Amino acid sequence: MLRLVEAVERCEHRLERGPLQLQRLRDRHLLIENRNHYVRDVSCGEDKSRIRTNPGIMARARSCALNILRYNGVPNIAKALWDGALNLNLVLNYRGL
């Protein structure tokens, strides 16, 4: 959230509509937070991860997997992750690999 505040402060003088555009920026930030980070935390257990060396690599791998699932129109990410763990053929049949 700090980055968003800094970005808003930097471009505040360029905003034409003021509060309305600030609300849109906040909504866009929350959409990204809810769509990506929340799913990584809950479905992938990222907060419980014990990886301490280069955790960013695993975060990118998780994001890549979630993006492939979304690209394929999967409605339930958690179920798709579970099913994919049980059957590798399901994973290999996704478009975008």
Model-level pTM? 0.60
pLDDT tens per residue across span 23-68: 887 888 777 777 777 788 777 777 777 887 788 888 888 888 888 9
Answer whether residue 1 shows pLDDT above 60.
Answer: no
3 state SS of 15: coil
Residue ranges covered by each domain of the chain: 1-42, 59-97
Q: Name the residue with higher pLDDT: 34 or 17.
A: 34
Residue 94, class by beta-carbon neighbours within 10 Å (0-12 exposed, 13-18 middle, 19+ buried)? middle
Answer whether residue 17 shows pLDDT above 70.
Answer: no
Nearest Cα residue to 24 out of 7, 39, 36? 7
